[in-house]
Amino acid sequence: MKTVIKSVKIAGMQAAVPPHRHSYVETPDIFTQDEADKIYASTGIHSRRILPKHLCASDMCIAAAETLLKRLNWAPESVDVLIYASQDSDYALPATACLMQNRLGLSQGAACLDVSLGCSGFVYATWMASQMLNGSDGQRALVLCGDTSSRHLLPDDRGTLPLFGDAGVATALQFDENWSDSYAVFGTDGTGGQHIAVKAGGRRNPTMPKLEARSSEEEQKLYKESRLYLNGAAVFSFTLKVVPKLIKDSLALANIEADNLDMVVMHQANQFILEHLRKKAKIPQDKYLIDMADFGNTSSASVPLAICHKLGCFFETDTKKVMLGGFGVGWSWGAIITDIGPILAPQIIEISDDFEPLTLVQ
């Protein structure tokens, strides 16, 4: 699907990460030092941030949103749309976005919803929020993206343990009828759903207790299927097959060449994949952001997190034309070409361990 987004601009970004840092390179718990060094050379990941168990992805997003609203001097009640893109909902129900509306102090007239997408979640949610503003009397939106991917990992899975970290990001959107058009392309291929999956925990394969006790074999099966399965070879093949075409189609829709872009920020999957993708898409190295070292793969948060970490001053004084892209679990993919800036420098804060968690009753 291809679409043009009119009259909506990115007004600001803010990220929140845990202070707790873990590095298999510095402390190779289940790897030898040589193995840890090779993982770093391939993935580009030196360390990851790990959220304490009593906090959720929503809490990082709340911390980011509260800071961003203050920095922008936006009254919470002036926000008309809130979308929470995450695969880590706080509860089976209600939607986490409803609780966020109350916690942030948004108007009861605000439209708030969850989007259960991972790697492509930021792009999809940004498009959705933009279209909601365009099709209503709304003026402002918050797109909150966050995941606690580290919690989905088996403690002995050497293929996934070094890759995933936790983060939450808030992006502010503003309706502006004089703003330049943005261009977006999306796609989905559900045959790839099997290659990045947590099979247990939903209604198809529930983990909720039963009246009768499960056997030890059933418990062990549920335990393993409640953790992430990732087929790295399939992810690599999918990326090189689909994402170069996504980039090409996005440029064609915007009627520009890659040289006209000031920066390309794709989902930070791992350095090996991103570098192969850059070469295949023929994007200059100085216009292509790879930022894996300090945070790892943070799923839906990875694109705005990379911007907050590395491009803070990039958007402060000038308007830049950028491509923002997500791809992965689903398979699901999307990209937006848009102008950003001048805006307040995107920043990263650390969420403290005593941060008040989002709850059903405030």
- Write down the pLDDT at residue 229: 93
Q: Any idea what the CATH number is for the domain that residue 178 is in?
A: 3.40.47.10
The tens digit of pLDDT for each residue in 178-235 reads 999 999 999 999 999 999 999 988 989 888 888 788 888 888 888 888 899 999 999 9
Q: Model confidence at 362, in pLDDT bands (50, 70, 90)?
A: low
Examine residue 202 and state whether it is found in any structural domain, yes or no.
Answer: no
DSSP classification of residue 149: G
Across 195-350, the runs of DSSP E, i.e. the strands, are 196-197, 229-230, 263-266, 288-289, 320-328, 332-340, 347-350
| Average pLDDT of the residues in 122-149 | 98
Residue that the structure tokens 């207790």 belong to: 209
The tens digit of pLDDT for each residue in 141-178 reads 999 999 999 999 988 888 899 999 999 999 999 999 99
Share of residues in the chain with pLDDT > 90 (%): 89
When divided into structural domains, the chain yields a total of 1
| Average pLDDT of the residues in 114-118 | 97
Q: Average model confidence (pLDDT) for the chain?
A: 95
DSSP 54-105: T--HHHHHHHHHHHHHHHHT--GGG--EEEEE-S--SSSSS-HHHHHHHHHT
The CB-side HSE value for 83 (13 A sphere, CA atoms) comes to 24
- φ/ψ of 71, rounded to 5, equals -65, -35
d(CA 359, CA 362): 6
Contact residues for 93 (Cβ-Cβ < 8 A; gap 6+): none
Examine residue 199 and state whether it is found in any structural domain, yes or no.
Answer: no
- Write down the pLDDT at residue 216: 86
Q: CB of 158 within 8 A of CB of 56? A: no
- Write down the pLDDT at residue 215: 85
The per-residue b/e assignment along 42-72, b for 16 or more CB within 10 angstroms, e otherwise, is ebbbbbbbbbeeebbbbbbbbbbbbbbbeeb
Examine residue 209 and state whether it is found in any structural domain, yes or no.
Answer: no
**Residue of 175, 137, 197 lying closest to 328 (CA atoms):** 197
Examine residue 196 and state whether it is found in any structural domain, yes or no.
Answer: no
Alpha carbon distances (Å) from 101 to 58, 69, 137: 12, 13, 18
The tens digit of pLDDT for each residue in 22-31 reads 999 998 888 9
**What is the residue range of 317's domain?**
2-190+229-350
Examine residue 287 and state whether it is found in any structural domain, yes or no.
Answer: yes
| Average pLDDT of the residues in 11-20 | 98
Examine residue 233 and state whether it is found in any structural domain, yes or no.
Answer: yes
Examine residue 205 and state whether it is found in any structural domain, yes or no.
Answer: no
The tens digit of pLDDT for each residue in 239-292 reads 999 999 999 999 999 999 999 999 999 999 999 999 999 999 999 999 999 999
DSSP classification of residue 305: H
Give the global pTM. 0.96
Examine residue 320 and state whether it is found in any structural domain, yes or no.
Answer: yes
Distinct helix (H) and strand (E) counts, the chain = 8, 16
Six-digit token string for 197: 């999956």
Q: Give me the helices (H) in 255-287, please.
A: 271-281
